[in-house]
Structure 1
Amino acid sequence: MNNTVNSGVADAHEALKRPSALEGLRVVDMSGLAGQYCGKQFSDLGAEVILVEPLNGSSVRREGPFLDNHVDPEYSLPFTYFNAGKKSVCLDLDRPEGQRAFIELVKRADLLIESEKPGVMAKRGLDYASLAAVAPDLVMTSITPFGQDGPYSNYESEDIVALALGGMLYLGGYPDSPPIAAHGNLAYLAAAQFASVASMIALLGQTGEPGRQGGSHIDVSIQECVVMGMENAIQFYDLERVVRKRESGQLKMAGTGVFDCADGQIYLMAGGIASARFWESTVQWMIDDGVSEAAQLLEDAWKDHDYLVTDEAKHRFSELFVPFAKKHTKVWLYQTGQERRIPVCPISMPKDIIENRQLAYREFFGSIKHLPSGQDIVAPGAPYRFSETPWRAPSPAPLMGQHTEEILAGIGYGKAERSALQQAGVSN
């Protein structure tokens, strides 16, 4: 036992000596809620990520919920999570002095992530063409609701608007209610993930021989990212002329849908794909558990897909399956169903996720130090493992302008120049 523990400690110390996957890469992140997860993914892999904030701080600092319900820019939990591991510099980019400092910063960067409205960066002289003139190898990723051009490009938008105009909001919710958006700014997160993948591909494209191949401008449309996540809704219409609709709260067909159990709910898919095999296994499961009446579900009528989608079939199946499910916990139903190779899974609440033994075994959840309060906040870690360049827990999210002095000094600003910028209200 001691040898195992000592070996584990030694491995952990050895991992700390290895370079991170993106060590040496410098990223400037001046994005808002739509892009800071993109910057976080680079930071998590070891890149130096510098968050450029306005003088009053990133807009994400005003996003709730807030730690201990303390409504303060330094207590925003979304900001704490999305910006762990980054450095903060506050600059007024609408002032020439701030723009000059920003250009000096970008000259030393590999990637710039921004989410300003189309045309804003050009008005500042900080558009891709202007920056590429002084930083020809720069990759600049712009994340906007509808892209840099087109009739919608300057429309006002937020996450729910992108969900709606991308088509996904229509599928969320219940048949007898207006559309409902899932919590968590899913459109923004989708765009940030597409942006990080595209940015990494562009950066990798610069490592070919001979030498680097120059920079590029990546134009990410949040709306288009949502359309990419429409599952098979478009194919349903294209192939069958069927418009998918909201189905939450009702069974798609007998044997497929959400069912109550002893301590929550499960999702079962006994009908549908390979329905004959799954259906028979599910019926036999109920019979073995003492539901002898379930034998009637093996009659020929239940092999007809057209019958399975009828209200009569849904009602008859539920009358037998629901009492069976309500006798058991979702963990029992999941594990026993898996043993029988039946597609069934528990519907997890947040508490279930935190206590999940698989996630606990892999030490998925860790903690982030919250500097203003000194508290440790439970947060997700990395959903991947690299054998040669291990992931490391990030440093705390920065205080507003915490690294301004350090960053400005690093790009050549002397003490007097830094003081002048601060006194002029260009930095803080």
Structure 2
Amino acid sequence: MEPTYEFIREMAGGEGALDGVTVLDMSRVLAGPYAAEILADLGATVIKIENPADPDVSRGFPPYLSDGDEEFSGYYGQYNRGKLGLTIDLSHDEGRQVLKDLVRHADILIENFRPGTMEKLGVGYEVLRGINPQLIFTSISGYGQTGSRSRRPAFDSTAQAAGGLWSMNGYQGMPPARVGVTIGDLSAALFAVIGTIAALRHVEKGGTGQAVDVAQVDSVLALTETAVVDYTVDGKVAEPSGNDHAWVRPYGLFGCADGQVFFAGYTDKLWKASCELFGSPEAITDPEIDTMRKRFDVEVYERKVKPLIDSWFGHRTQRELEELAGDVVPLTALRTVGEAVDDPGTAERDMVVEADYGGLGNLRMFGQPIKLSETPAVTNRVANRLGEHTDAVLAEVAGYDAKTIEDLKESGVV
């Protein structure tokens, strides 16, 4: 039978750009779930598949919505919104058959186990492509599916360490500092979405499905900006540079009367505009700092450029600086996450959305930065409880009758 997905249409509240695309999300914690969630936001039918005895560990991560003895993870809710919940125990032959029956009607499968795990379970890519040659099998792992390091376990910090990013972050003369968010997971999720949609386009043009292999380490290395070519061209190894750019100046954090602001006036055009705004027109033609290349020089910058900027900012508040220059040059107050969430501009872009969890309360979480004019993302949806939609998914997607579903439940397969 052809899937109808009446239940997901009701959850989504409309059709998105990926309407009609079915995703089996077998991933856990962050990289895979976030990739699948982006696809769900954009209209795909995403089915979250978990082991009933060993569900996604992020269900236990704080913070928690609570109502008496009932709790629900806000972390899990933010990365699994809009998904259907199904449980399958793949240690059973019957469980593996359930997955195969779902794969017949799926377009995409996303997993982030250690390489080789899906093969050990008997549901690796080669097996599943034999069932559905158009299946896109997206794998996210620490080191990728190939290479001598592929079987190594990995977390986000593994990628930050092995990809070189950790060594670049922090301040000179101090130990390197980890980037404060799980950038290895998050970047891998974004690259996985790009690769998956590219593979989907290939299928839509009449091609076959394929394996999409994204590694956290690779993703981090691809975020190191000029560090790779600095090394390969000049032999220069990137070092921590604090809040400053490696070579662009002025471009960094500057103190003001009530905090700090980010300011970037490094191009000749921006430098000229800044000097005019802050009443220092003579600095435009000063022969020591009248070109971008001269202002990049560390000695010149520290002696002439930075003191001038400090004199512009030191007696002004963040608000005064933004009102004076924020519409002309890149100048932005350094805000806390709370201030960013509460900023009216954040609401204007629908970047904080709210999902109603009934007695547990409402979960406010980040929205979807991809803005589509004709098929906007739907983000204000709840995440699934464990196995919440098992009956509906097996009936409408796999085509099972009520007796078959009940037998699978009684045997502990689903």
The normalised TM-score by structure 2 is: 0.86
1:95 shift after superposition: 1.8
* Change over 3 Å in CA distance of 1:69–1:179 after alignment to 2: farther
Give the letter for the 1:39 counterpart. A
Matches within 5 A, 1:8-407: 19-32=15-28, 33-55=30-52, 56-67=54-65, 75-208=72-205, 212-249=206-243, 255-271=250-266, 273-274=267-268, 277-287=269-279, 299-303=286-290, 309-310=297-298, 313-314=301-302, 317-339=305-327, 341-370=328-357, 373-407=359-393
Distance 1:313 1:383 in 2: 36
- SS of the residue corresponding to residue 389 of structure 1 reads coil
Query: CA separation in 2, counterparts of 1:138 and 1:361?
Result: 38
Q: How much does 1:338 deviate?
A: 4.1
Q: Cα distance 1:154–1:333, how it changes in 2: closer, same or farther (>3 A)?
A: same
- The aligned amino acid for 2:61 is E
- Residues 382-423 of structure 1 show CA distances to partners (whole Å, capped at 9, x for unaligned) of 223333323333431011111112222332333333233223
SS in 1 for 2:289: helix
CA distance in 1, matches of 2:212, 2:114: 14
RMSD after superposition = 2.9
Question: For 1:397, what is the secondary structure of its paired residue?
Answer: coil
SS of 2:346's partner is: helix
Identity of aligned residues (%): 27
Would the alpha carbon gap of residues 313 and 203 (structure 1) be closer, same or farther in structure 2, given more than 3 Å must change?
A: closer
Q: Which amino acid aligns with 2:86?
A: V
Higher deviation after alignment, 251-260 or 323-332: 251-260
Counterpart secondary structure, 2:288: helix
Call closer, same or farther: CA 1:249–1:42 in 2, change over 3 Å: closer
CA shift for structure 1 position 315: 5.3
Distance 1:158 1:71 in 2: 32
Q: Aligned to 2:101, what secondary structure does the other structure show?
A: helix
- Farther off after superposition, 106-115 or 253-262: 253-262
Change (3 A) 1:384 1:157: closer
TM-aligned CA deviation for residue 313 of structure 1: 4.9
Q: Which whole-Å CA distance do the structure 2 matches of 1:130 and 1:157 have between them?
A: 26
Q: Distance in 2 between matches of 1:205 and 1:154?
A: 29
Residue 422 of structure 1 corresponds to which residue in structure 2? 409
2:353–2:380 contact (8 Å) kept in structure 1: no
Give 3-state SS (helix, strand or coil) of 1:268's partner: strand
TM superposition shift of 1:319: 4.3
Q: Aligned letter for 2:371?
A: R
CA distance in 2, matches of 1:87, 1:106: 15
Partner of 1:302, secondary structure, is: coil
Give the letter for the 2:80 counterpart: N
122-131 or 18-27: bigger deviation: 18-27
Distance 1:312 1:202 in 2: 50
Deviation track 1:247-305 (CA, whole Å, cap 9, x = no partner) reads: 1146868744211123321122334x43xx444443444336xxxxx968964333485
1:299-321 Cα shifts (integer Å, max 9, x gaps)? 43334856864457525554453
Query: Structure 1 counterpart of 2:222, which letter?
Result: M
Distance in 2 separating the partners of 1:134 and 1:195: 23
Contact 2:294 2:300 in 1 (8 A): no
* Partner-residue secondary structure (3-state), 2:278: helix
The one-letter code sitting in structure 1 at the alignment partner of 2:339 is D
Amino acid at match of 1:377: L
Letter in 2 for 1:22: L
Q: Cα distance, 1:115 vs. partner?
A: 0.9
1:233–1:19 distance in 2 versus 1, CA, 3 Å: same
- Mark the CA change 1:362 to 1:297 in structure 2 (over 3 Å): closer, same or farther: closer
The answer to whether the 8 Å contact 2:289/2:300 transfers is no
Residue 370 of structure 1 deviates from its aligned partner by 3.1
Which runs of no fewer than 5 residues in structure 1 stay unpaired?
1-15, 289-293
Q: Note the alpha carbon deviations across 1:14-62, whole angstroms, 9 max, x for none.
A: xx99632111111100012221111011111111100001113212223
Say how many residue pairs are matched.
398
CA gap of 1:412–1:384, structure 2 versus 1, over 3 A, is: closer
Assess if the C-alpha contact under 8 Å between 2:188 and 2:219 holds in 1.
Answer: yes
Say whether the 8 Å CA contact 1:144–1:220 is kept in structure 2: yes
Give, in angstroms, the shift of residue 360 of structure 1.
Answer: 2.5
Q: 1:425 to 1:206 in 2, by over 3 A?
A: same
Question: Which residue number corresponds to residue 11 of structure 1?
Answer: none
Retained in 2: the 8 A contact 1:159–1:185? yes
Q: Take 1:76 and 1:316, find their aligned partners in 2: how far apart are those partners?
A: 52
Q: Distance in 2 between matches of 1:375 and 1:95?
A: 37
- The 1:53/1:328 distance shift into structure 2, 3 A limit, reads same
Measure, in 2, the Cα distance between the counterparts of 1:350 and 1:229.
23
Paired amino acid for 2:19: E
Question: 2:5 maps to which residue?
Answer: none
Q: Secondary structure at the match of 2:94?
A: helix
Q: Does the 8 Å contact 1:286/1:321 carry over to 2?
A: no
